[in-house]
Amino acid sequence: AAAAWKGLQGLALKGWEFGRSDPRKVVFAAKMGLALTIVAMLIFFQVPFRDLSKHSVWAILTVVVIFEFSIGATLSKGFNRGLGTLLAGGLSLGAAEISTVTGNWEEVIIIIFIFVAGFLASYIKLFPKMAPYEYGFRVFLLTFCFILVSGYKTREFVETAVSRFFLIALGAGVGLGVNICIYPIWAGEDLHNLVAKNFIGVAKSLEGCVNGYLQCVEYDRIPSKILTYQAYDDPMYSGYRSAVQSTSQEDSLLAFAGWEPPHGLYKKWRYPWSSYVRVSGALRHCAFMIMALHGCVLSEIQAPPESRQIFRNELKRVGIEGSKVLRELGDLFKKMRRLRKPNFLFEVHEAAEVLQKKIDQKSYLLVNSESWDAVELPDGMKWMLNRPNTEGENKSELAHDYRPPPLSASYGAHNSITSDMGSVHKMDSLLKRQMQWPSRQSFLTEAVPGPQESRTYESASALSLATFASLLIEFVARLQNLVDAYEELCEKANFKEPVDEPASE
């Protein structure tokens, strides 16, 4: 008993915490209780007309069914219910009229009608375009069958249909009234907040990926939830995942938001909710690049820490400027303001430009020039080397001359680590990593790779830095698309000019 009591306390505490995290949920539950109470009282006191209790179930059913969390969902369900009921009422009265004139065949006719209605309604609702009206089809079918079946015995076709309709109207009136008039919860607002949250999430992922990459974060073992794209609490992962994952949630919120009348901040008639979803889609298009950046962090082939150090400042600046852009855009979006300056992306483009130039200058660090002649060339390339020497030089000598100064030496001088240590460490970690890379194990017969293989991986690992930088620059390029989508939204939704010009500008 004591354990049960403790369990109950724990549950109550959880419920309390849940309500504190989003008080709207408590309000919603209280509204539901209130609406049911009102309907029950109306039935008890026989307002507005007598003998309600006989069909009272319809009023209660309607309240329970159309009372949804957001106004948009409630209106959409209410519309479905109303349309379904009216259509079914009309058609079933017609069907009843036909069946009564056929005399002896009445039952047969009614049963045929029920089968046909059941078939058609179930078939049509499966069309993808009919998905939003799924509930309406159910209501139609239910009402149609009910009126025919119950009217058959009682001969009160019209009375059944009419009293039913009044009670549904009563339930719908109370439900809609309570839900809309008392502390309304708008799907549009939820959509707005969801997209704003995605901006922050993507910005956090970007910061996480760039910082993680520069700090050479490595997963000892990549969590299997990441490998199978399940929800997982990782600063680099969760942000972009939830942005990518929110499509279905956005779609349903969008469908409900369309039902909501102009309200609060969203005063325009036919508010452009679909542009909100377009902005979110453009953000997602950027998030895919961050996904790929995270892929570089997850990869078994990793650039040596020394070369990351050389590009450290440039990479970091692009990361900082990129996430600043995302955060600022998210903030403006949340506050429904236009962009402050014409060249919103100036800083991040400049940072990307600097990174690009740095890569350009230092591109010899990204390749492994030692292998240009050392590796045996495949057949297809041999003839090119053996062809009459147009440059008038020996190819092998030429390649030898291209070799840039050893990376570890210049890095060592810069960071006062001896060059020997640097390269030993580098080679070591590469060999280790090579053994881990799962794809290797299957076709490497010798356990320790020969010198040629290890050089190949050195090259791969250096190129992985180039990949990271390219993806980051591509991310920056995609920001323009996001800004375009945002400006289109500003136009359509009539966002205001920003009020407080910040002092920093």
91 binds its own copies (CB under 8 A): no
**Number of CB atoms found within 10 A of residue 258's CB:** 17
Show contacts with its own copies in window 219-278 (CB under 8 A): 226-230, 244-245, 247-248, 277-278
Comparison of 211 and 369: residue with beta carbon closer to its own copies = 369
Instruction: Look at the block and give the residue holding tokens 């990549």.
Output: 222
Comparison of 105 and 402: residue with beta carbon closer to its own copies = 402
Structure tokens at 90: 């009309």
Which of 9, 363, 415, 494 forms a contact with its own copies (CB under 8 A)? Answer: 363
CA–CA separation, 302 and 304 (whole Å): 6
CA distances from 143 to 157, 165, 434 (A): 12, 10, 68
The pair phi, psi for residue 412, each rounded to 5°, is: -60, -40
Comparison of 26 and 86: residue with beta carbon closer to its own copies = 26
The pair phi, psi for residue 14, each rounded to 5°, is: -60, -45
CA distances from 6 to 19, 62, 264 (A): 20, 38, 44
Question: 266 has which bridge partners?
Answer: 263
CB of 374 to its own copies, least distance (A): 9
Which of 196, 203, 366, 407 forms a contact with its own copies (CB under 8 A)? Answer: 366
Instruction: Look at the block and give the residue holding tokens 């979006």.
Output: 333
Show contacts with its own copies in window 47-66 (CB under 8 A): 53, 56-57, 60-61, 64-65
Comparison of 332 and 365: residue with beta carbon closer to its own copies = 365
Show contacts with its own copies in window 280-309 (CB under 8 A): 281-282, 284-285, 288-289, 291-292, 295-296, 299-301
CB of 40 to its own copies, least distance (A): 5
Comparison of 93 and 286: residue with beta carbon closer to its own copies = 286
Comparison of 265 and 316: residue with beta carbon closer to its own copies = 316
Q: DSSP 3-state assignment of 496?
A: strand
Which of 8, 12, 13, 126 forms a contact with its own copies (CB under 8 A)? Answer: 126
**Number of CB atoms found within 10 A of residue 302's CB:** 21
Show contacts with its own copies in window 135-174 (CB under 8 A): 138, 141-142, 145-146, 148-150, 152-154
Comparison of 215 and 247: residue with beta carbon closer to its own copies = 247
* CB-count burial class (<10 Å; 0-12, 13-18, 19+) for 343: exposed
Structure tokens at 352: 């990307």
CA–CA separation, 424 and 70 (whole Å): 62
CA distances from 315 to 207, 259, 310, 351, 476 (A): 11, 45, 10, 8, 12
First to last CA, the chain: 66
Show contacts with its own copies in window 441-480 (CB under 8 A): 442-443, 455-456, 459-460, 463-464, 466-467, 469-471, 473-474, 476-477, 479-480
Show contacts with its own copies in window 184-203 (CB under 8 A): none
372 binds its own copies (CB under 8 A): yes
CA 113 to chain centre: 45
338 binds its own copies (CB under 8 A): no
Site string for its own copies, 385-404 (x = CB under 8 A): --x--xx------xx-xxxx
